[in-house]
Structure 1
């Protein structure tokens, strides 16, 4: 595996047995990789399998089929996972959509951010740890006065900043951001997006960024995969996919992106996507590093 590849997913499958006679194929045979220092986006409508993919990578969902490699190690193999458990838990972090549910309501901001350091025994000196927490709060745009507050005493945007501070504190190799701004209002969304961009540029973090807002994905990500019904239907460099969409579903999504021009919005035509069977199709490289489900 290329040394610059942090994460590689091969033919990932995730099914759920809903009842004795009913199984849902939430993720169906998808493959992609993420290079060190880049932001890779997964985009698609609600229910397409984006978050299920994230949770399967993190081990929240037990893998149904396929392989997952982290830093060249096959972590989907239970034996390999056990041997590298400490490294994986430290260097793979996730930021959830609902910060209110992701943060312990009974813990202070200080204790929430301190928890990974204490768990992994990275900083054991209290004064050094407090200094590090102050630095992390400053990085995410908060100050040390927030340390004593509980999650219920701060806004949704501030809670999400705390969640980001917790995830980046131990300097992980890889972070999954699962719809991290979906529950925030527009002005706060812009602040959080700019924060992600800053973290990538200044600190070299690697992200899997999951969203359904194409405008944000275009601004933030380096490469993107478009998901539909558990499959990736198009994948490539973000600007290439947005400026030259090939799959009909991608064209339909992009045609629906709002433009801040009332006259254009009034007259624009949204392309209709007519669903087609996807079971037998596979990704083909139609242009350099531009893949389409055919």
Structure 2
């Protein structure tokens, strides 16, 4: 039986062959929980992004129905609180930054500082704009209502003029648990597809990283060893699926294995192989069960309560 705490703390020491150049990678220490943003917030924000269409520019955003669920394109006049909530819900596709960069002021303060420094140092031409292209995973919420943080890959783009695509409205018949699970699986596929495009010859720079946020930009130089180390550390978040409850990991593993093949490795993969060999036993058919027994997420409460945040970035 594998507890949520065990899954969170277990880290594989393997390094993707396309990145191999370094030694052991340290374990991340950042808290995995965030209070103050509810699952109901996620549902409300997703529906707004999916149905808002060509909204009043004063709102500072367009919504777009991108690959099954709604996402946001933020620009000047966007409410920083709306940006903050949409970010943690994994619902931002793009942020077109204004001169003041006020739109992102409620995100991680260290992230904001790095982005402002990048703009000050790199962008000298007043005709150029700075844009953030974002791939995020849709987070989980635990039994107590705490948001289990998702992952975010932010790519800094410098463009002469940003073309705002025409918003696409979408219709979803319902938002039941299975549909949201599919959205979440898709969000993991998208972020991992982006990460696997990097190798030890890529001309990119790691501008910022935490356990949950990775910021990259294009550069004329090949990525350095320290950058590879950071990439490996971030990619390891998706081995063993440490930030997803145990009763979701089988479904997520199956989805990632089907779409990414060898680029996904986790401790649940062998269960998929066993399932293929023994069709009468289905790991994914019963919520919360593994071949080793049943794990209740309520068993982790005493451990989680010691690590949960008060909601500040």
| Same fold per superposition (TM over 0.5) | no
**Higher relative strand content:** 1
* TM-score, normalising length: structure 1: 0.29
